[in-house]
Structure 1
Amino acid sequence: MNAGNLSAIVLSAGFSKRMGRFKPLMQLGATTVVERVVDLYRTAGIDDVCVVVGYRGDEVVAALGSSGVRCVINPDYEKGMFSSVMAGVRALPEGCSGFFVHPVDLPLVRTATVKALAEEFSTFPDAIHHPCFDGRRGHPLLLPVALAAELADWRGEGGLRAFWAEGSRSMRDVPVADQGILLDLDTEEDYQRMAARLEREDIPTDRECRALMVQVHRMPEAVRRHCDAVAAVAIELASALARAGVSLDLDLVRSAARVHDVARDQPDHAATGARLLEDLGFPRLASVVRVHMDLEVGPNPIPDEAAVVFLADKLVVGHRLADLGERFERKLSKYGTDPQAVAAIERRKRSALAIQAAVERITGLGIQIILQHVDTDGGTIQ
């Protein structure tokens, strides 16, 4: 991704009427909303960030004083968002090839989304790029600088939406696993939801997991069904352990299981999937996915999230529950002439049996009892 000649226009000039509080300077996590949006672009490698201010502009400028961003005053901010877009467009630097437009009240956009848009732009530099989550377009937009002159001359009503609806401008939807592109900070209830979501931002939601598997990486249905079945088993195992007093992050277990085979069609898919998840900003998921194929454990382990997902993966063949002994016997029959493969299979078998024994010891329940109500659309352990 070459982000060096891209700019970002952050729209922060409005009244925040619906909120009742001034949105740009509301505290969200460790920073204000406007600082969080600015940091998003800096983290993504976009050095030129322009914040358009209007209402209470002096306060926003003061809050950003040490950030090094450019602040542009929109004297016509009362006319609405499009006037702020134009103020930012007029301030674009020489040599800029494209620019993001980001309303300040969408502060939970992920860094990976900005990078994905920039990557797509490098291939299609003449198109307007929309991030798309679960079939819906969101923000930020990424536009070619060639449209700046057309925007300056346009006098239609309806803002950017009406502008790009005219004519035959090229537009591209960029699928992302980022629900934040749709989450506006408009009401106090929105703020409370965002604050709660921010505490778990390193774990994708169920909808984000599905988008990652279906829209972004387009994994085959058989792989997705397997991952969903593994997730169902993993949550049942983790819940039983949690009831027995083992401290586990159930959200981490569920999400890691749902995407553990996201790189299934690539060599060394566990390590490749882990790197992919790290790039997306999910390092804890990556640590679980990295070892879902091969995990060594000692005697009498206390299962953690990685161990639970590892065992669940071994208890599911396709999307059906399976007995560990039968599963590994089939593996040994298939690869019995390859000493290296046999050693790996035997190692994984020992780990799976040790983890299963630990689960049964800690919970006081047999694995068949723990999983008796699991629905993987494939039956029960025989």
Structure 2
Amino acid sequence: MSAAPHGLVLLAAGASRRLGRPKQLVVVDGETLVRRAAHGGLATAPLDAVIVLGHAAGDIGAAVADLPLRAVVADDWREGMGASLACGVAMLDERCDGVLVLLCDQPALDAAHCIALVDTWRARRTAAAASAYAGVLGVPAVLPRAWLAEPGALAGDHGARELLRSAARHVVAVDAPALARDVDRVGDLPVDP
């Protein structure tokens, strides 16, 4: 394989307490948010792809059961995104040099942006490629696998965003202003025309 191999970790374990129902299963344009995120990530042709489940694992896993994702349930998902990300990274094929990290709460996420992140990371593999929106660098992002192996890099709720902040000079921004809109509360839900 000439291009640096990367893996996909789709974080879908959260309980969506503020929304009151699993945001992963919210339907936008006829598709659940978890499927939208999965399709975007899979369009990058990852060497390996893992979905991390926790709350409502059966229902959320069933929504993507026909896609080429390996499902893993994070026993410690309640501790936060860092714990879920650590679980997903541990399950990835060890040949993955980079990790595309996706969430399920960004309705505007598309395959083109995921591909742009992977291409940006491949051009400078010791750096991360992160989405830039609302004045921050965040996920989706491609992180060098070596960053995730550092002791204490991922624990509890210390996830990808914290890693990006702590290593900002080693992060290449990929503009994605539409990703600033996410789904956390009922008022955030998209309204179908």
- Larger strand fraction of residues: 2
Contact 2:24 2:34 in 1 (8 A): yes
Percent identical? 27
SS at the partner of 1:159?
A: coil
Matched ranges for 1:31-180 at <5 A: 31-46=31-46, 48-133=48-133, 135-150=135-150, 153-154=152-153, 159-160=158-159, 161-166=161-166, 170-174=170-174, 176=175, 178-180=176-178
Residues 297-322 of structure 1: CA deviation (Å, up to 9, x unaligned) = xxxxxxxxxxxxxxxxxxxxxxxxxx
CA distance in 1, matches of 2:167, 2:155: 13
The residue type equivalent to 1:139 in the other structure is: V
CA distance in 2, matches of 1:165, 1:138: 9
Deviation at 1:4, TM superposition (A): 6.8
Contact 2:37 2:110 in 1 (8 A): no
The residue type equivalent to 2:32 in the other structure is: T
Structure-2 change in CA distance of 1:9 and 1:3 (3 Å) = farther
CA distance in 1, matches of 2:48, 2:99: 10
Structure-2 change in CA distance of 1:18 and 1:136 (3 Å) = same
Structure-2 change in CA distance of 1:154 and 1:61 (3 Å) = same
Deviation at 1:162, TM superposition (A): 3.7
Deviation at 1:107, TM superposition (A): 3.3
Deviation at 1:143, TM superposition (A): 0.3
Residue of 183, 186, 192 corresponding to 2:184: 186
What residue number does 2:5 align with?
Answer: 5
CA distance in 1, matches of 2:134, 2:121: 21
Runs of 4+ with >6 A deviation: none
CA distance in 2, matches of 1:138, 1:166: 12
Q: Which has the higher contact order (CA 8 A, sep 6+)?
A: 2
Residues 41-88 of structure 1: CA deviation (Å, up to 9, x unaligned) = 223333532110001112222222211211111001111111101111
CA distance in 1, matches of 2:82, 2:10: 12
SS at the partner of 2:50?
A: strand
Q: CA RMSD in A?
A: 2.5
What residue number does 1:293 align with?
Answer: none
CA distance in 2, matches of 1:83, 1:157: 5
Contact 1:41 1:47 in 2 (8 A): no
- Larger helix fraction of residues: 1
The residue type equivalent to 1:5 in the other structure is: P
CA distance in 2, matches of 1:192, 1:91: 33
Matched ranges for 1:239-250 at <5 A: none
SS at the partner of 1:147?
A: helix
SS at the partner of 1:146?
A: helix
Structure-2 change in CA distance of 1:184 and 1:121 (3 Å) = same
Q: TM-score, normalised by structure 2?
A: 0.86
CA distance in 1, matches of 2:15, 2:134: 30
Contact 1:106 1:139 in 2 (8 A): no
The residue type equivalent to 2:37 in the other structure is: V
Residues 288-342 of structure 1: CA deviation (Å, up to 9, x unaligned) = xxxxxxxxxxxxxxxxxxxxxxxxxxxxxxxxxxxxxxxxxxxxxxxxxxxxxxx
What residue number does 1:308 align with?
Answer: none
CA distance in 2, matches of 1:45, 1:126: 20
Deviation at 1:112, TM superposition (A): 1.8
SS at the partner of 1:95?
A: coil
SS at the partner of 2:139?
A: coil
Matched ranges for 1:190-209 at <5 A: 190-193=188-191, 195=192
CA distance in 1, matches of 2:167, 2:137: 20
Contact 2:131 2:140 in 1 (8 A): yes
Contact 1:14 1:77 in 2 (8 A): yes
Which ranges in structure 1 are unaligned for 5 or more consecutive residues? 197-382
Bigger Rg over Cα: 1
